[in-house]
Amino acid sequence: MLRIHSIESFGTHEGPGIRFVLFLQGCFFKCLYCHNPDTISLEWGKMMSVEDIVKQVIQVKPYFRGKWGFTVSGGEPLIQAKELFPLFKKLKKEWIHIAVDTNGFWRNDDVKNLIPLVDLFLVDIKHINNDWHQKLTGKSNENILKFVDYLESIGKAMRIRYVLVTGWTDQEEYIKELGEKFWFYKNIERIEILPYHQLGVYKWKELWRKYWLEGIPSTKIEQAEEVKKQLEAYFKKVVIRA
């Protein structure tokens, strides 16, 4: 059984092609800009069996003519790595492309066992600098960087995602540090810049929680384009995912 938050049967931003996206409940990060704060609690959401999830995925499979896949996101999906294992095994028997959208923080034997079943990792790097990372998320980035190192060492395909927030993640010196850290990694397919937006602010208010980035403006496309140019000095493919 998996504790899920929601399902999107026609996602276009969570991996290549059209995706069936399963959003899982639970996250140990407390990102200041989180646009889905209702996914953080490990106690919320609803329970769903592997069999029911597979049934839903198979039902939509004929509509996409092969140009699609399955993505698990969150929250942080690797918290439920043990429960994901039987689901992924069944999906692989159906020759379905599997992607995992993760912050890479959660590392244990269950995660290690799950990795071979995953075709693509979408790894969210919140900040390359550890001090800033802790300000943003409440956690160190040490595990995340080790996770990316491990994926590289075993030849696992991945994409790096970076949320661009004015005054928080747009510092030129740290953009440079990000490039210098990863430019030679052969298994990073591309860097995805995600401009910060305020679309999830209302959820914090509905939960009666303080939104810590109140007043920070949404990132302008011109800002994202400038960071894109900086990162293109290090990576062959950099995209802005609006």
pLDDT for res 158: 98
The 10s digit of each residue's pLDDT in 37-61 is 899 988 899 999 999 999 999 888 7
Q: What is the pTM (predicted TM-score) of this model? A: 0.95
- Per-residue pLDDT, averaged over 73-102, amounts to 96
- Per-residue pLDDT, averaged over 82-94, amounts to 96
pLDDT for res 211: 84
Query: Per the structure, how many domains does the chain have?
Result: 1
Is pLDDT at 75 greater than 80 in this prediction? yes
Question: Could you tell me the residue range of the domain that residue 141 belongs to?
Answer: 2-240
What DSSP assignment string belongs to the chain? -EEEEEEEEEESSSSSSEEEEEEEP--S---TT-S-GGG--SS-SEEE-HHHHHHHHHHHGGGSTTSEEEEEESS-GGGGHHHHHHHHHHHHHTT--EEEEE-S---SHHHHHHGGG-SEEEEE---SSHHHHHHHHSS-SHHHHHHHHHHHHTT--EEEEEEE-TTTT--HHHHHHHHHHHTT-TTEEEEEEEE---TTHHHHHHTT---TTTTPPPPPHHHHHHHHHHHTTT-S-EEE--
pLDDT for res 200: 67
The 10s digit of each residue's pLDDT in 120-168 is 999 999 999 999 999 999 999 999 999 999 999 999 999 999 999 999 9
Residue 213 sits in a domain whose CATH number is 3.20.20.70
